[in-house]
Structures are given as C-alpha cells and as structure tokens.
Structure 1
C-alpha cells in the first residue's frame, strides 16, 4: 500500500467523494488535452473523445469505490445496472462525465458527480460536483452562508436544457416576472442563460449567477443526485417541479422532473409553472 492508498483508507465518505471526483476530473482534462486543439477535431474525433472520457472516468470511480467502500453498491451511468442495489443500505450514485456533449466540444461546462444515498434514512450524503475545466469543486462539506444572495440589479436568471426546455417555460417566466414585481422583489423580470451539464447548471446557482433551474422532460438519478445534495447544502430548494421531494434508488433510475430554486421565489416559481401549464 502506497502513501496515497494509506491516506485514502482514513477518509470519511465526503472526503473520499471529493478526492475521487477531482481525480476523475483531472483524468478527463488530461485526456482531452491529449487530443489537441478542439478547433481541429472532426465529428469522429470528438465522438472518440467522448466515449473514451466516459469509460476512463467510470473505471476510475468504480475501482476507487470497490477498493475503499467494497460493501457499498454502485449506480453509474456507464456501468451495468441490476436490481441488487435495491436492497443496499448504501448506494453510490455517480455520473463519471455529466455533460459529455460539452466535453467533446472543448467546453468547460461539464462535471463529475459523486453522491452517496442511504435508502433507510432517505438521505443524500457525501455529494460532490467537480467542474475540472472551471477549477471548481462543490461539496456538502463546503462552508456556506446562511442564505443565498438574491440579485437586485439584474433579471432573475434561469437555466434550463438547451435541447429539451420545459414546454411552458416562456409563459411561466412571464408570469413569474409579474409576480415578483407585484411582490416588490424585483422589477427586472427573468432571462434564460445557456449552460451545459446539470452539475454546471447548479453551479451557476450556488455561484450567485442564476436563481432558478427547471427541467421537466426527465433524466436519470446519476444526473440529479450529486447536484441535488449540493444545491440543498448551499441553501437552495431542490425538488420535483410540483414540490415533491426526490428520492433515489428506483428501478429504472428515472427522475421525471427537477426544479432548483432560490428560497425567496420557490413558491412563486412553482405557481408560475403550474399556471402556465394550464394555459
């Protein structure tokens, strides 16, 4: 056992989560750098990079957890799934490369997600979102303010999927803007911003650059788990769009919707989305 391995055996769950997420992130950066200038990549080369990155990061995370948490179960986007995990008392939910498309474009808005779900407690713990190309790592052990700041000099910024935005998002944001103005919260309305992966979107919120994230077309538990825990730790309110709590370790591991909101506007945002969906 080398010094690094000896030190890793002493880490608690959150410390291990941070370490292996950052290690995977550095492997992804090194791999991408080896492909040269993104401006020179053709479609075949970008596809090769994405596939290799997914596999490399998954293998690193899976090996580290198998060695240092051998009795825990694992759910990974890139790993084989089976229903054995449904009876596990501890389940690691990882997305080795969240934002694979952005990674293959040479962009910075991709992330590594590592989270621990404890089914009996219905509790997320040890959540880490590492954004290696931005030099940012968000975790549930970070020191945070009592409540996130709210902007008074700009519109409320909203992040959503660029490919699958909520159908009623436009009308909902018009309603939300009017509701916030009537409540004396802000007169600046709302604006959409373009960000890639789920982890990168949540980072915009916890960094103070956005206040609301809405996704209604569904995705998987590995997309959601680590950002969900990090968002809550930073004082934001994550839930399904209707306000219901999200739980994990389902078969299949599907999450129908997600909303992450600044606490000041969470009820207004939910009401606006509901009103817009009714037409």
Structure 2
C-alpha cells in the first residue's frame, strides 16, 4: 500500500518546482503592463497572468484529475467535484511586486476534501521557501520552524491592517495592547507567524482562499492555529471561496479569540 505521506511529499516537490519556475518568470519582468481589476479588486499585471498560465499548464499536466482555483483564473464549478485541488496565488502582494519591494510571494497549495495537505510559499527576492505537508511539520529553507508561545498581548505583535485594531471589532471596544505591524502578502504573514517572527494576525474583511491556503497549513504544522475571525475552522474549495476574515497565531490565538467582537464583516475595501 502506498504511504500517503510519500504521496504528499511528491505533491510538495511538484509545488516547489513550479514555484521556482514562477520566480524565474516574475523576476524577468522589468516594467509589466498594469491594469485594475473590476469592482476595486486591486491591480493585476502581465507577470500575474504569465505566472498563472505557466502554473496552470505545468500543474494541470502533472495532475490532470486535480481541480484548479487561482486568483487570476476565471472560476469554474468543475473544481467542486474534484477530490484534490490546486489553490494558487500566482503573485501574492502584486502591489509590493510593482513597487519593487521584496515582500511578495508565490503561494501554492493542494487541498483534499476541504483541508490543505501540501503547501509552499516562496519569496524569491528574500530567498525564503516555506513548506509543509499535513502531519509532516513545517520548514523554512529545509529547517524546522515553530510558532510563537507568547500569550501576553502586552509583549506581542499582531500583523494586520489598521482596520483590525478599530475598537468596534473588539468586545466592549477594548483593543488589546498588542503592537501592530503590516506585511503586504497574506501568505507571508501566516508564514511569519509559523517562524515566530510575529505572534498573531487578523483580517476582518472576507478573505480569499488563495491568500491563505498555503500559509494556513504551514502555520498549523508549526504548531499554530488559523481560523476565521469567529473561531470556525478554515475550509477550502467552497462554492464561494472566501473565509469570514482570519485570526491566526501561535499561543496568542486562543487569548485573542474571546476578545473579538463577532459583528458583521465590513464591506470589501
């Protein structure tokens, strides 16, 4: 009988090789054409689409039975019937990429029946490769990583936008005394929690699956926790591929969750 852990390692190797090829494409562009997505969806550029096309061709050829969900591909209902599916953000942090920052990533994951089972996040400009398989632990550049054990908000740093620290999102308006920081790529934020560089992360608005799929497994395999902002387990390959925000962290997750005000989500930015 085939060991399922070996199966996941083979899928992970495929993801890593595809991410490295994506890095070669993205870093080769010098002044990509840029346009805005409809309905305030943010910028998209030639590099996003070139990476997406390569990933879909390479991964699809290697695993034709797997479904496909990507930020830069029109969604199709066929993915819902697939037992396994690729969930991909070709360039997570397009704004940072266009600004010449190093803070963008390729985020690739495999989901099986709603849960992530293999994942990689590659930051080419920082030479950072985060990987994980379900039950196999989390790695940064092939070294094991572990999430923060910090439980005191006064000593903690939370990654998130200013909106996350608005009093209306906390019970009684009492914002916990954490320091706030920000990074552009959601996938990288989750990975930074996995290596204990920060203690927690919060998004209030609905969050797309491709932004959090890979990073959520990397964090959980590092001993952390990622849920929606109400504490529900994250599930993937849903008909509407979004979560109700995200609360993630090491030990601090369980401290912050009871303090959050579970009101209606604000409209998209």
The answer on whether the counterparts of 2:88 and 2:210 sit within 8 Å (CA) in structure 1 is: yes
Counterparts of 2:165 and 2:76, CA distance in 1: 31
Deviation per CA, 1:49-68, whole angstroms, max 9, x where unpaired?
Answer: 95111111101110111211
1:16 aligned partner? 14
1:101 aligned partner? 95
Instruction: Normalising by structure 1, report the TM-score.
Output: 0.77
Which has the higher Rg, Structure 1 or Structure 2? 1
Stretches of structure 2 lacking an aligned partner (at least 5 in a row):
1-8, 37-42, 134-138, 265-269
Shift, 1:212, TM fit? 0.5
Map 1:15-34; keep pairs closer than 5 Å: 15-31=13-29, 34=30
Stretches of structure 1 lacking an aligned partner (at least 5 in a row):
1-10, 36-43, 178-188
How many residue pairs get aligned? The number is 241
CA RMSD of aligned residues (A): 2.9
The answer on whether the counterparts of 1:57 and 1:96 sit within 8 Å (CA) in structure 2 is: yes
Counterparts of 1:140 and 1:22, CA distance in 2: 16
Q: 1:271 aligns with which of 248, 254, 258?
A: 258
Shift, 1:170, TM fit? 8.0
2:105 aligned partner? 111
Shift, 1:251, TM fit? 1.5
Map 1:236-275; keep pairs closer than 5 Å: 236-263=224-251, 265-274=252-261
> Which secondary structure does the structure 1 equivalent of 2:260 belong to?
helix
2:128 aligned partner? 136
Counterparts of 2:86 and 2:73, CA distance in 1: 12
Map 1:104-183; keep pairs closer than 5 Å: 104-119=98-113, 122-140=114-132, 142=139, 143-144=143-144, 148-150=148-150, 155-161=155-161, 165=164, 167-168=166-167, 175=174, 177=176
Counterparts of 2:98 and 2:49, CA distance in 1: 14
The answer on whether the counterparts of 1:169 and 1:273 sit within 8 Å (CA) in structure 2 is: no
Counterparts of 2:262 and 2:240, CA distance in 1: 30
Which structure: greater helix fraction? 1
Counterparts of 1:165 and 1:45, CA distance in 2: 32
Which structure: greater strand fraction? 2
